[in-house]
Amino acid sequence: MIEVNGLAKRFGEFTAVRDLSFAVQPGEVLGLVGPNGAGKTTTLRCLAGIIPLSGGSVQIAGVDLAADPVGAKRALAFFPDEPRLFDYLTVRQHLTFVARIYGVAGHEPRVQPLLEELEIADKADLLPGALSRGMKQKLVIACGLLHDPRVMFFDEPLTGLDPLGIRRMKDSIVRRARAGAAIVLSSHLLHLLEEVCTHVLILKQGEKLAGGTLAEVAAQFSQGEASVSLEDVFIRATGGTED
Amino acid sequence: MVGALLYLRLVSLRNWLASTAARLRQPKYLASALAGAAYFYLVFFRRLLSTRPPAPGAPAGLAGGPLEPGAALVLGAAILFTFVLLRFAYSWIAPAPSPRLRFTEAEIAFLFPAPISRTRLIHFNLLSSQLYILLSSVLLTVVFNRWSFLGGNPAARAVGWWLILSTWNLLGTYSQLAIALRIQRAGGGVRLRVLGALLVLATALAYSTWQRARPPAEAELAGLRPMAAYLVRCLDIGPARTVLAPFEWVVGPFAARGLRAFLLALGPALAIPAALYLAVLRLEVSFAEGSIAQAEQRAQVRTAWRSGTYRGAGAKLKAIRAPFALRDRGRPELAFFWKNLIAIQAWFNLRTFLIILMSFAIVLFANLRGPRSPIGATAPLVLVGAVMVTFYTLLAGPQLFRQDLRSDLVNADILKTYPLAGWQIVLGQILTPTLLMSGVLWLALLTAGWAYSRLPAAPGALSHSAQATLVLCLAAVIPLIVFLQLLVPNGAALLFPAWHQASRNRAAGPEALGQRLIFVFGQLFAVLLALLPAALLGFLLFFASFWLLGIPAALVIATAGVVAVVAGELCVGVWWLGGRFERLDIAQELRP
């Protein structure tokens, strides 16, 4: 579903991501972890077609992102860490707008269940300014889910959510994966990623340090221990520093 | 505290300079800085540094040698008094909800929980403003150096400006704290009593001065200089003289001629801000809550300004009904049109448009009654007015109607995840302001055409059919020209996102000024350049065909040519900017 080969991203002389390769199949959730400045957000922005790649290739649902960006984007949804919304559109008007952009036929019957699932049905006629951060994030998710994306990218999806919100977000991600979506998410909350992700990819200074299923990566850094947490793995893999 | 403040300000300044200098490595930003610096040099510094006397025959105004020191003193004091009175009255009319001092959110976050006394916080606040006051003093000295009538030398005037601004700042701080405290303690009723007393005093002062002053002679109204002299004579007598005395102390160093006079004036001038400073320190008032609320409000305004959604102080957003039902299927560009139509309704709604429409309708109706009716005889004025509206809309419209890509640039990341080509987003975003500006221009054109038809026919004037055809042809061209006008600033925002963001941040300095100059002249130049081939083709087609087909048909043919050329240019422009949008990395562009 998601195939990344030799992905590279350079900003002038600075290389943010280099030679990154991985694949995410339907039903899998890949956790992108790494210290600050490791290139997680840059990677996600490249995968979502927000910024062009400097090298390598990305296939989204079998469509080459560089060759057919519009086709690839039809299959994906990107959820930024900071909810970006249009100040003058109400919750419902946001969904109407997105439905037209993605050409979602007969979107209205899908809106109400989606809003109810995300518990913002009673906010349908409010502007973003009247919503809390968590509500805004839910609206972003509703907009992203409206066209039934097969590929989803979450950048720090749990930031700013209360414990209940975090629980529901995790459930929602797991449910979408079980329904067949391929998901990549980045987060610093490692113990939460352990509950959600099937796979993990550790980045440092734009390079892949380790990747695979949680068990495979854990085994790589277990140093003979029976059970190691993702946090232990992360610290051992990165050497406990950002540099 | 002083050390910490200096560290904060100097390090911030150094880092700002470093990030600006780093951006100047890119030629486009370097060009703007050079343009801004050239503007400053040519307009201000060249005269400041020049040792040549002014050219004979230069525009007079208040020029013709400096004013008498006494006259400059009285005039300056009167101006300062007027400003202070207005500020004082405004502080009572619209007082702050609670006592407050101006701090940024970061300053509040770091300083308020820190073990710092209230007095030190006040010192921090006053010292912070001193840095801006010093810079402003230098700028004002440079800018107003052209006012030769002020006399004195630039150094003395810089000190004078510093004293005036410092007094103004301390007075503002004191009144803001004291008035809010007084209202908190005495209740809202005190406002009316104070304002009533202010009104009575101001009226009594004005009446007394009027009674003592003689009416101006005709010669005293013949120019600015005699008028100023007359005003000084009026103010230099009776109670006005007494009221203005402390203000004259403050203005003293500014108006002083010679070192001795300057030094003598310094003492009284410093006494006023010193007294105000002590008064501020002695105020036993808590300003924490008010300062926090003010900082949050300013942060919200700044965010709204950056995102292009600032609607004025106190204005609140409210949900607006969609202008039409947006169907699920169809051209995605229309979704942007729909979205921006909702956004623009917050300040330009159907009611606004109907008011404009009714204004035009009243004018047209008045003209319908014929040139003999009192209102109908205003056709020439109406024509001039309509032409002015047209030019104003064409020139200023793109800056007023900004509900397009410029207001959505902060959402560029989200827009780029849509399954749309860049040109579709650019096209869709510009549709709404195009329609609205075209609507206003069509009304202006209709009015102008109508007014023109009411004028007495001049020899060789166009026939009615030719006039009607010309109006229709212009109406056909208007949306294309408007689109072109809007495409240029949208393109500039895409090509120079950091400049665009800087204008959102109300940035100042040569770079910001330079970019605005480049934008204004660049837009004018780009539009004229784009219209040149169309205009040439239009003229050619017109002159080639009107001999054979007559003026109306020739106008139609020429218009078709113009439309074809401009439409072609617009297609290329939208397509090219779409590509630019696809490649844009807004985060990278805005990185210092």
Cβ burial, residue B391 (10 Å; 0-12/13-18/19+):
exposed
Min Cα separation A234/chain B (Å): 28
Residue B61 has a pLDDT of 45
What are the beta bridge partners of residue A11? A14
Question: Is residue A30 less than 8 Å (CB to CB) from chain B?
Answer: no
* pLDDT (tens digit per residue) in B537-551: 999 999 988 888 888
Q: What percent of chain A is predicted at pLDDT more than 90?
A: 31
* pLDDT (tens digit per residue) in B430-481: 999 999 899 989 988 988 888 887 777 666 677 888 888 999 999 999 999 9
Measured distance CA(B309)–CA(A27) in Å, rounded: 41
Residue A152 has a pLDDT of 94
Chain B interface disruption, residue of A10, A50, A122, most B CBs within 10 A: A50
Pair of tokens at residue B245: 């005395």
Could you say which DSSP state residue B42 is in? Answer: I
Mean pLDDT computed over B118-124? 83
Min Cα separation B324/chain A (Å): 11
Which residue among B309, B327, B419 places its CB closest to the CB of A102? B419
Radius of gyration for the alpha carbons in chain A, expressed in angstroms and rounded: 18
- Decide if pLDDT at A208 tops 50: yes
Place A233 in a pLDDT band, splitting at 50, 70 and 90.
confident
Pair of tokens at residue B148: 């030769």
Pair of tokens at residue B206: 């004005």
Measured distance CA(A205)–CA(A37) in Å, rounded: 7
Min Cα separation B31/chain A (Å): 20
Question: Is residue B22 less than 8 Å (CB to CB) from chain A?
Answer: no
Which residue among B309, B332, B343 places its CB closest to the CB of A100? B332
Determine the residue of chain A that is closest to B334 in CA distance. A100
Question: Is residue A67 less than 8 Å (CB to CB) from chain B?
Answer: no
Measured distance CA(B362)–CA(A52) in Å, rounded: 55
Place B503 in a pLDDT band, splitting at 50, 70 and 90.
low
Task: Lowest mean pLDDT of A174-183, B45-54, B205-214, name the range.
Answer: B45-54
Measured distance CA(B473)–CA(B496) in Å, rounded: 35
Yes or no, beta carbons of A103 and B329 under 8 Å apart: yes
Which residue among A93, A97, A127 places its CB closest to the CB of B317? A127
Chain A interface disruption, residue of B306, B326, B339, most A CBs within 10 A: B339
- Decide if pLDDT at B370 tops 60: no
Which residue among A86, A101, A106 places its CB closest to the CB of B332? A101
- Decide if pLDDT at B313 tops 70: no
Pair of tokens at residue B411: 């959402």
Question: Is residue A61 less than 8 Å (CB to CB) from chain B?
Answer: no
Higher pLDDT: B70 or A216? It is: A216
Question: Is residue B420 less than 8 Å (CB to CB) from chain A?
Answer: yes
Other Cβ atoms less than 10 A from the Cβ of B94: the count is: 8
Which residue among B320, B330, B414 places its CB closest to the CB of A88? B320
Residue B28 has a pLDDT of 67
Measured distance CA(A118)–CA(A233) in Å, rounded: 33
Residue B60 has a pLDDT of 45
Determine the residue of chain B that is closest to A52 in CA distance. B583
DSSP string, B103-151: --HHHHHHHSSSS--HHHHHHHHHHHHHHHHHHHHHHHHHHGGG-GGG-
Yes or no, beta carbons of A88 and B421 under 8 Å apart: no
Min Cα separation B416/chain A (Å): 5
* pLDDT (tens digit per residue) in A95-121: 999 888 888 888 888 899 889 888 889
pTM beyond cutoff 0.80? no
Q: Which chain A residues touch B343 with a CB distance below 8 Å?
A: 86-89
Residue B297 has a pLDDT of 80
Q: Give contacts of A 202-231 with B, CB under 8 A.
A: none
Measured distance CA(B417)–CA(A47) in Å, rounded: 10
Identify which of A215, A217, A201 has the alpha carbon closest to the alpha carbon of residue A34.
Answer: A201
Give the strand pairing for A29-33 and A55-60.
Answer: unpaired
CB A147 within 8 A of CB A104: yes
Q: Which chain B residues touch A89 with a CB distance below 8 Å?
A: 339, 342-343
Residue B59 has a pLDDT of 45
Measured distance CA(B397)–CA(B425) in Å, rounded: 21
Higher pLDDT: A129 or A146? It is: A146
Yes or no, beta carbons of A78 and B414 under 8 Å apart: yes
CA dihedral B492, B494, B497, B500 (to 10 degrees): 40
Question: Is residue B343 less than 8 Å (CB to CB) from chain A?
Answer: yes
CB A99 within 8 A of CB B328: yes
User: A7-16, B450-459, B484-493, B568-577: which has the highest mean pLDDT?
Assistant: B568-577
Other Cβ atoms less than 10 A from the Cβ of B467: the count is: 17
Task: Lowest mean pLDDT of A65-69, B87-91, B361-365, B537-541, name the range.
Answer: B361-365
- Decide if pLDDT at B379 tops 60: yes
Contacts of B298 (CB under 8 A, 6+ apart): B104
Measured distance CA(B271)–CA(A31) in Å, rounded: 67
Q: Which chain B residues touch A40 with a CB distance below 8 Å?
A: none
Question: Is residue B28 less than 8 Å (CB to CB) from chain A?
Answer: no
Which residue among A11, A73, A88 places its CB closest to the CB of B417? A73
Yes or no, beta carbons of A88 and B317 under 8 Å apart: yes
Alpha helices in A77-118 (DSSP H): 91-102, 108-117
Question: Is residue B242 less than 8 Å (CB to CB) from chain A?
Answer: no
Residue A198 has a pLDDT of 92
Min Cα separation A142/chain B (Å): 14
Identify which of B46, B34, B142, B42 has the alpha carbon closest to the alpha carbon of residue B515.
Answer: B34
Question: Is residue B346 less than 8 Å (CB to CB) from chain A?
Answer: yes
Enclosing H/E stretch for B429? helix B422-454
Q: Is the ipTM of this complex over 0.85?
A: no
Pair of tokens at residue B422: 């860049």
Measured distance CA(B350)–CA(B341) in Å, rounded: 10
CA dihedral B383, B385, B389, B390 (to 10 degrees): 20
